[in-house]
Amino acid sequence: MLRLGRREFGPHEPVIMAIVNRTPDSFYDRGATFRDEPALARVEQAAAEGAAIIDIGGVKAGPGEEVTAEEEARRTVGFVAEVRRRFPEVIISVDTWRAEVGAAVCEAGADLLNDAWGGVDPGLAAVAARYGVGLVCTHAGGAKPRTRPHRVEYDDVMADVLDVTVGLAERALALGVPRESIMIDPGHDFGKNTRHSLEATRRLDEMVATGWPVLVSLSNKDFVGETLDRPVKERVVGTLATTAVSAWLGAQVYRVHEVAETRQVLDMVAAIAGWREPAVARRGLA
């Protein structure tokens, strides 16, 4: 059972996490949701299309201008409070690696802290425990926040992913984060080259076998672009193919830009696997 905010999800119930970037320079939307009203409209649309979680980020993952903790909080805290007020049933996640920002957004109503940089600030898990919120434990290969990988090597990339993410999850549990609210994430592209991310996808069932719910953040990433030689705006098909494979292998939570398309892919995989009934079944029965 996965429990986040007011919601509970069964073991074969896929969950969509919609991305809402509160940054002027995000790699995909180029600041489309930096201002409040477009961002709130994005939340409303994502929820209507089937997203259970809204993931709010105040700093883009890649290199760029420095964003202080104060500026990150300015971009996220008030927005979290407004989303909480307008959309009380939505699960609010905040993508941050900083404990001080994590505490501020939890005070504002966040339900989940998405630590995409693999515990670089060990205080973030303690914040999640203090507020009783969920935590995403990610493998980033030891990379510093907002850096790109350079000639990264692993003897066995999945062995490293398992060692790091399960270790972070067990530490979070020991600190008091609710077990049913902890997820692990292989960290596609974070501290990895394209071949590493492909192997992590291919072996995703090994993460699922740990018993911790698995989150994947695949949406329009560089490993998809390099695999198909496609620019950022032409990676949706590759992303959805990777989503289908991840779903078949047992991932549960999907951090995405395209909510409606992802919902169809996940519903189709669930129906093929026998976890979901077809929405309509008239063929050959009339």
Architecture of the domain spanning 2-273: Alpha-Beta Barrel (3.20)
Q: Looking at residue 71, what is its pLDDT?
A: 97
pLDDT, tens digit only, all 286 positions of the chain? 999 999 999 999 999 999 999 999 887 877 899 999 999 999 999 999 999 999 999 999 999 999 999 999 999 999 999 999 999 999 999 999 999 999 999 999 999 999 999 999 999 999 999 999 999 999 999 999 999 999 999 999 999 999 999 999 999 999 999 999 999 999 999 999 999 999 999 999 999 999 999 999 999 999 999 999 999 999 999 999 999 999 999 999 999 999 999 999 999 999 999 999 999 999 999 7
What pTM, to 2 d.p., does this model score?
0.96
Which of 60, 98, 221, 235 is the catalytic position? 221
Q: Looking at residue 218, what is its pLDDT?
A: 98
* Residue 192 is among the residues annotated as catalytic for this protein: no
What DSSP line would sit under the chain, residue for residue?
-EEETTEEE-TT--EEEEEEE--SS-TTTTTTTSSHHHHHHHHHHHHHTT-SEEEEESS-SSS-S---HHHHHHHHHHHHHHHHHH-TTSEEEEE---HHHHHHHHHHT--EEEETTSSSSTHHHHHHHHHT-EEEEE--TTPPTT----S---SSHHHHHHHHHHHHHHHHHHHT--GGGEEEE--TTTT--HHHHHHHHHTHHHHHTTSS-BEEE-TT-HHHHHHHT--GGG-HHHHHHHHHHHHHHT--EEEES-HHHHHHHHHHHHHHHTSS--S---TTT-
Q: Looking at residue 29, what is its pLDDT?
A: 78
Q: Looking at residue 254, what is its pLDDT?
A: 98
Domains of the chain, by residue range, sit at 2-273
Which of 75, 192, 235, 255 is the catalytic position? 255
Q: Looking at residue 76, what is its pLDDT?
A: 98
Q: Looking at residue 280, what is its pLDDT?
A: 95
